[in-house]
A and B are shown apart, each in its own frame.
Chain A
Amino acid sequence: MELKTKINAEEGKQFLVITREFDLPLELLFKAHVEPEIVEQWMGTKVLKLENKKHGGWQFETSDNKGNVVFRANGVFHEFIPNQKITRTFEMENAPFGVQLEFVEFEKLTDNTSKVSMLSVYKSVELRDQMLKLPFAQGLNYAHNRLQEIAGKLK
């Protein structure tokens, strides 16, 4: 099966690119990135703030089923052009990865298909590689949390 989501992380470079094509019109793909209640569903996190405009800020937070915050991230928007692109910073709180600069571009392929590409720039190659390794290290733990999240929503 062909992989829908592609990651391009060249060795020795401090950036990575994530691309994915969708069976969705461009407008719906973009909407999924700006409507807080939709973002919450597919990112599996709570949206505390999402000011979709230049100089606006955003903040996400994820808690475990006991209410302990396990993940919090924030950033600001530098560019916000509907159905075209979002340029924003991304910083995971209480994590050693520093701030990343993200260029998210949206592209119409056909009337019913579209594509997103996310370029993330890290402060150093080492930080990028650490971030890439995070899910690998978390491995089972992550899968377990996802299951709990999804199971929790089904209730």
Chain B
Amino acid sequence: MNLRRDVFQAIADPTRRAILMLVTSHAMTAGLIAANFDTARPTVSKHLQILTECELLKQEQNGREIYYHLNPEKMKEVADFIEPFRQMWEDRFSKLETIMKNYKTK
């Protein structure tokens, strides 16, 4: 079975969140990213693979090096994931307000 990768699974891990933070300002190679962590290089590679698979990171070939950079489109999806939860409460509270406004005038 192929495990479906989604952005939320990707950002659930603290190391992966740290990687995303790192590449926010500029694209970096795997080696440079790994140098920022105490974790073993293969572990960092695995994280990079997951982040790439779920499209939060994009690879860019520059000469012999592969650079990783943030995919802002996908990050927007992450920023928005809370919206349906907020909307659920917005709907409830708006209903509450309407009900109680009628209640008041009764």
Contact = CB atoms under 8 A, between A and B. Distances in A.
A3 B103 CA distance: 24
Q: Is the interface of A mostly helix, strand, loop or mixed?
A: helix
B95 interface: yes
B64 interface: no
A22 interface: yes
A55 interface: no
B12 A126 contact: yes
B84 A136 contact: yes
B84 A135 contact: yes
A136 B85 CA distance: 7
Interface stretch (A7-15, A76-84, A96-104): A7-15
Q: Is the interface of B mostly helix, strand, loop or mixed?
A: helix
B88 interface: yes
Contacts of B93: 4-5, 20, 22, 42, 116
Contact of A24 (B83, B92, B97): B97
Contacts of B26: none
A67 interface: no
Interface residues of B, number: 26
A7 B86 contact: yes
A95 to B, nearest CB: 15
Interface size classification for chain A: 35 or more
A20 B89 contact: yes
A32 interface: yes
Interface of A: 3-7, 9, 11-12, 18, 20, 22-25, 28-29, 31-32, 38, 41-44, 116, 126, 129, 131-136, 138-139, 142, 146
Given A28-B100, A42-B92, 20 more contacts: A3-B90, A4-B94, A5-B90, A5-B93, A6-B86, A7-B89, A22-B96, A25-B104, A28-B104, A31-B100, A31-B103, A38-B103, A42-B95, A42-B96, A44-B92, A116-B93, A132-B81, A133-B81, A136-B82, A142-B88
Nearest 8 pairs of A and B residues by beta carbon: A42-B96, A135-B84, A5-B90, A42-B95, A28-B100, A136-B84, A7-B86, A135-B85
Interface of B: 8, 12, 14, 17, 81-97, 99-101, 103-104
10 contacts: A5-B93, A11-B17, A18-B89, A24-B101, A28-B104, A43-B92, A126-B12, A133-B8, A135-B85, A138-B84
